[in-house]
Chains A and B, each alone.
Chain A
Amino acid sequence: MDDTAISLKQKLWNPEARLAYILILPAVAVLLTFMFYPIGYVLLMAFFKTNKLSQLKGFAGLDNFISEMTEPEFWVVTGRSMLWTVLAVATKTLFGMIIAVILNVKYTGRKVARLLFIIPWASAVPISSMLWRWVYHPVYGLLNHTLRITGIWPQPPTWLGTPIPAFAACIWVDIWIGIPFMALVFLAGMQAISEDLYESAYLDGVNWWQKFFFITLPGIRHIVLIATLLSSLWTFNDFNTIYILTMGGPAGATDILITRIYQNAFKWLRFDRAAVMAFTTFVILTILSLVYARVYFKQERS
């Protein structure tokens, strides 16, 4: 009994561990104060009545959840968050794959092309979103002008002023920002595949599609999984694009959970609603993050 007590104490409190705790303490203290405590507080807030100053006013049990989740609007926004994430990530993956395949062909200028393809990711997201607002401008914007004069779309919509085009316009900006990351990761994966495989496939007379589906895709399977998980997290969390382009409008048509939380809290001072939505978001993000972390670790070990 005494022995195990001593060895446990030694395990927790030997000079090396003590040094480790001292070195780690500042970072952990900052995280506890400015991340874990605020998250805990918001999660707690979901179970309390709140006033317009976001003070807790008595325990409410599940009342906030019940009143919020019986509102159709809650499900509309949550559903839109899901749709937003799935559509955007799928499109990013598709574009990323196409660009990676192209950049994997050894032509002159591919290095410059690679640098140019990165720009949408490298540029500041809020600033890009503002630029897009100007691009989408119904009267002076060059997008609609170009669509008209080239005859691609003679009567283009008022992008940010009508619900469905506004959703399409917002999601495109999110996709546009996310494509370069996908392309870079896929490209890195493709370049790690041994060239011998392709060469022997060429000698066997295998066509392009077969090479892609039987050599390239299986070779980057793992990377695709990790990149789509990461991208799902970013996409679900994308506040800047929507807030700057439409502020969730027109008439809430582009609101997703993340933007609605902010508006509930800082515009309408409905902290009960904001807290319930934050709770929901927290659960979804935690599940996605845990899956990402698991995959990441599994890959590190192998």
Chain B
Amino acid sequence: MKWKNRGKIPAIIFTVALLLLLLFPFFVMISTMLKSSQEVYSTPPTWIPQEFHLDNFLTVWSEFELFIFFRSSIIIAVGATILNTLLTVPAAYAVARLRFVGRKFILYLFLVIQMFSPVIVIISLFKIMVGLNLLDTYFSLIIANTVFTIAFTIWMMNGYFRSIPIEIEEAALIDGCSRVKIITRIMIPIAVPGLVTAMIYTFIYAWNEFLFGLTFIQSRPKMPLVLALYNFVGRWTTQWELLTTAAFLAIIPVLVLFYVIERRLVAGLAGGAVKE
């Protein structure tokens, strides 16, 4: 069909131009992480490193001890993902399948609160963490990240549970299956794509989270990756060749995970008008 072929050349030109503009900081990142310290701090700056340095990867791992912060981030993100899932699955099943007073209100409430700002909460949340003796613990961040992802994940899982034909469940009920068995043996296996999306979403949220870490964590070894990098920047002289290397390593895992859920995430956020 001829009409489809129109506009290909301008589209390609625009694509290249926009990508050059939008990926600029990542080009800078890759260029900087391959440079030596002397080259990074020479004027005028260079785009292509005069000689390629891979030492920065070793340095961030050995001297900057990046693995400590990787470990913290993994503990926090995995913890939040587990806690979120434990709370989300039963609640989402209830709003999707059971009839009770206040069901609509709760769904509506979840949709509204998913957009609330952590900054509004942080003042009193700080006091609560002090009161519960949770300041400077991984658990404070696990809770905070769970609280701020749960509304969206319940909402999303509700959609997935609801798309499962009710007949399957009715048949199981007639066969004498308990509700718990229905959830664990029938609903969850069918809704695995949705569950994976919700879990990855929580993991990424916790991995990228900055504000709670900044406020609750004080001791260096407990810092999540993002906060550790920020403190690295805040120091008097930032070694940008090391920071860009660390940034590269910190971004890769979430980038890969994001590609897995991207289409389902957009559909979940924008609602029924967007097909997966």
Q: Taking beta carbons and an 8 Å cutoff, which residues of A are in contact with B?
A: 11-12, 16-17, 19-21, 23-24, 26-28, 30-31, 33-35, 37-39, 41-42, 45, 54, 95, 98-99, 102-103, 105-107, 109-110, 113, 115-128, 130-135, 137, 139-143, 145-146, 148-149, 176, 179, 181, 184-185, 188-189, 192, 198-199, 202, 208, 222-223, 226-227, 230, 233-234, 236-237, 239-240, 243-244, 258, 261-262, 265-266, 271, 274-275, 278, 281-282, 285-286, 288-290, 292-293, 296-297, 299-300
Report if A17-B28 is in contact (Cβ < 8 Å); known contacts: A24-B106, A39-B116, A118-B258. no
With the chains together, A278 CA to B25 CA distance in Å?
33
* A27:B91 contact, CB within 8 angstroms: yes
- Residues of A within 8 Å of B210, CB to CB, are 125-126, 239-240, 243-244
With the chains together, A244 CA to B247 CA distance in Å?
14
Report if A185-B94 is in contact (Cβ < 8 Å); known contacts: A42-B124, A199-B1, A286-B112. no
* A127:B25 contact, CB within 8 angstroms: no
Besides the contacts A120-B23, A202-B3, what 15 more A-B pairs have beta carbons closer than 8 Å?
A16-B100, A17-B99, A95-B18, A99-B18, A107-B8, A115-B259, A119-B23, A122-B259, A127-B247, A134-B28, A185-B270, A188-B270, A192-B273, A239-B118, A262-B122
- Determine which of A142, A192, A290 lies in contact with B275 in the assembled complex, contact meaning CB atoms within 8 Å: A192
* B111:A296 contact, CB within 8 angstroms: yes
With the chains together, A103 CA to B11 CA distance in Å?
8
* B243:A130 contact, CB within 8 angstroms: yes
Q: Which residue of A lies closest to B97 (CB)?
A: A20
Q: Does B26 contact A (CB under 8 A)?
A: yes
- Determine which of B4, B90, B230, B240 lies in contact with A140 in the assembled complex, contact meaning CB atoms within 8 Å: B240
Q: What 7 pairs across the A-B complex have the smallest Cβ distances?
A: A38-B124, A202-B3, A122-B258, A17-B100, A23-B90, A20-B98, A105-B11
20 A-B pairs with C-beta separation under 8 A:
A11-B101, A21-B94, A35-B113, A38-B125, A39-B124, A107-B8, A122-B259, A123-B26, A130-B230, A132-B25, A139-B43, A141-B45, A181-B269, A208-B7, A274-B123, A285-B120, A296-B111, A297-B108, A299-B272, A300-B272
Report if A37-B124 is in contact (Cβ < 8 Å); known contacts: A27-B150, A184-B262. yes
* B11:A102 contact, CB within 8 angstroms: yes
- Residues of B within 8 Å of A179, CB to CB, are 22
Q: Which residue of B lies closest to A199 (CB)?
A: B3
- Residues of A within 8 Å of B11, CB to CB, are 102, 105, 107, 110
Majority SS at the chain B contact face: helix
| Contact indicator per residue, chain B 244-276, by CB within 8 Å of chain A (1) or not (0) | 100100110011001100100011011111110
Report if A26-B45 is in contact (Cβ < 8 Å); known contacts: A185-B274, A288-B115. no
- Residues of B within 8 Å of A103, CB to CB, are 15
- Residues of B within 8 Å of A113, CB to CB, are 15, 19
| Contact indicator per residue, chain B 85-103, by CB within 8 Å of chain A (1) or not (0) | 0111011011100111101
Q: Which residue of B lies closest to A16 (CB)?
A: B98
With the chains together, A65 CA to B157 CA distance in Å?
41
- Residues of B within 8 Å of A42, CB to CB, are 120-121, 123-124
Q: Taking beta carbons and an 8 Å cutoff, which residues of B are in contact with A?
A: 1-4, 7-8, 11-12, 14-15, 18-19, 22-26, 28-29, 31-32, 40-41, 43-45, 47, 86-88, 90-91, 93-95, 98-101, 103, 106, 108, 111-113, 115-125, 127-128, 143-144, 146-148, 150-151, 154, 179, 207-208, 210-211, 215, 226, 229-230, 233, 238, 240, 243-244, 247, 250-251, 254-255, 258-259, 262, 266-267, 269-275
Report if A19-B98 is in contact (Cβ < 8 Å); known contacts: A42-B123, A230-B270. yes
